[in-house]
Amino acid sequence: MKNIKLIGPFRQILTMANLPEGGPIKDDSLELIENGGVLIQGEHILKVGTYKDLYLDAVQQGASIEEVEEETVLLPGLIDCHTHMCFGGSRHRDYSLRVAGVTYQEILQQGGGIHDTVQKTREASQEALSVMLHQRANRHLQDGITTCEVKSGYGLSVDAELKMLRSIQEVNSKHTLDMVSTCLAAHVCPKEFDDKQAYLQHIVQELLPKIQKEGLSDRVDIFVEEEAFNVEISREYLRQAKAMGFQLTLHADQFSTGGSRLAAELGALSADHLEASGEEEVKILAKSGVMPVVLPGASLGLGMHFAPARKILDWGGPLAISTDWNPGSGPMGDLLVQASLLGVYEKLSMAETLAGITARPAQALGLQDRGILQANKLADMVAFPCGDVREICYHQGKMKPVKVWKRGNEIHG
């Protein structure tokens, strides 16, 4: 056996190996290995255990030892399963209007908001988009995020959507961080169309087949909201996309309800946002097998309440937390800051918060090879400079990772 190495010792390793399917998670219920190590072969984990036990294994197998000198705790690499981080321009003007009291929907209805970013993204070349996306991915990787989803949705024409998805594919092929792309051509109806159904038909006929032919994405998203696409129109579009073989994810219940029920009805992978979800929606989602994804960064960006994360868990659901990194509602894009703040306001245990940014978003993306530190999973890992996992949320994102490994390799810089 070749290319084996032992990494450690870590003061604590939170593996996520024994997560329940859903429901509340007590801090002391998750597997925590004290003075642990990780034995790796190539890109994958061979074994996680105490450093002492693994050291003997490692020596017998002729493994190299990568010693971690500082006191650190280890988590699975963080995963951000909902972003719009491929975009041109900036929306600081919207933000200044919003803090003065104009709502997100009013700005959108007046032709600004998403439409403004569409114009800037259409004007940008694929190369320029890739440079910006690459820089944002660098920032994410330094923050310990080893996999992230990226949506299109600021092109809103066949050519401009393809340009975005090609840019995501190009950056994914070059960058260390793994990207999962999603077609969000159904973000809003572009100004060139006055009939929303006609626009979506155009997307189904002209764009989705090209995406499949080029292998650009196998996921489709839609913004379900009166100002974007209502439930009936969304249902029709999603059914067609599903029949073509796309997996579904929805922008659901951000300002009004309807989207999360539709996600459950259609067997979507995830229903994201959920700020407007009430008890009914939460109960439906908990039973549905759809991953509820909450986006505290959008609440912080819009100055509105958080999604009912506590209720989702209390009704038996799992919970994923992501950034929604985008120029409009979520410009911050800092997963750990946002998850920590959600945790303190929604009264989440640290185990619930940390599962929400590791194992749960992996499930939301349908990725079974990551999000957990155990044999045969990818060696995507992040170490924080402290001796107790509880310190990670305690510092509310201010404590940054000291080391990040992607597919077994330590990231430098």
Contact in structure between 241 and 234 (CB atoms under 8 Å): no
Please give the Cα distance from 241 to 336 (Å, whole number). 33
Closest to ligand NIG by CB, 293 or 393? 293
Distances (CA, A) of 138 to 131, 133, 204, 214, 263: 11, 9, 33, 26, 32
Short-list 369, 313, 341, 350, CA closest to 79:
369
Contact in structure between 362 and 335 (CB atoms under 8 Å): no
C-alpha neighbours within 13 Å on the C-beta side of residue 409: 7
- 248: Cβ contacts below 8 Å, ≥ 6 apart: 219, 220, 221, 238, 241, 242, 263, 266, 267, 268, 269
Give the three-class secondary structure for 302. helix
Short-list 341, 353, 264, 350, CA closest to 305:
341
Q: Residue 157: which of ligand NIG, Fe ion, none does it interact with, CB under 5 to 8 A by kind? A: none
Binding piece for ligand NIG, criterion CB under 6 A, among 72-80, 109-117, 285-293, 342-350: 109-117
Per-residue mark of binding to ligand NIG, 126-155 (x: CB under 6 A): ------------------------------
Applying the rule CB under 5 A, the residues between 318 and 357 that interact with Fe ion are 324
Applying the rule CB under 5 A, the residues between 181 and 240 that interact with Fe ion are none
Closest to Fe ion by CB, 8 or 328? 328
Closest to Fe ion by CB, 276 or 350? 276
Q: Which residue has the tokens 């650190």?
A: 72
Applying the rule CB under 6 A, the residues between 77 and 106 that interact with ligand NIG are 84
Per-residue mark of binding to ligand NIG, 305-324 (x: CB under 6 A): -------------------x
Among 318, 328, 371, 408, binds ligand NIG (CB under 6 A): 328
Closest distance to Fe ion from the beta carbon of 132 (Å)? 18
Among 254, 299, 323, 338, binds ligand NIG (CB under 6 A): 254
Q: Give the helix, strand, coil percentages of the chain, each rounded to 5.
A: 40, 20, 40
Give the three-class secondary structure for 87. coil
- In the bound state, the residue with its beta carbon closest to ligand NIG is 328
Q: Residue 10: which of Fe ion, ligand NIG, none does it interact with, CB under 5 to 8 A by kind? A: none
Closest to Fe ion by CB, 50 or 90? 90
Closest distance to Fe ion from the beta carbon of 324 (Å)? 4
Q: Residue 217: which of Fe ion, ligand NIG, none does it interact with, CB under 5 to 8 A by kind? A: none
Binding site for ligand NIG (CB under 6 A): 84, 113-114, 117, 223, 251, 254, 298, 324, 326-330
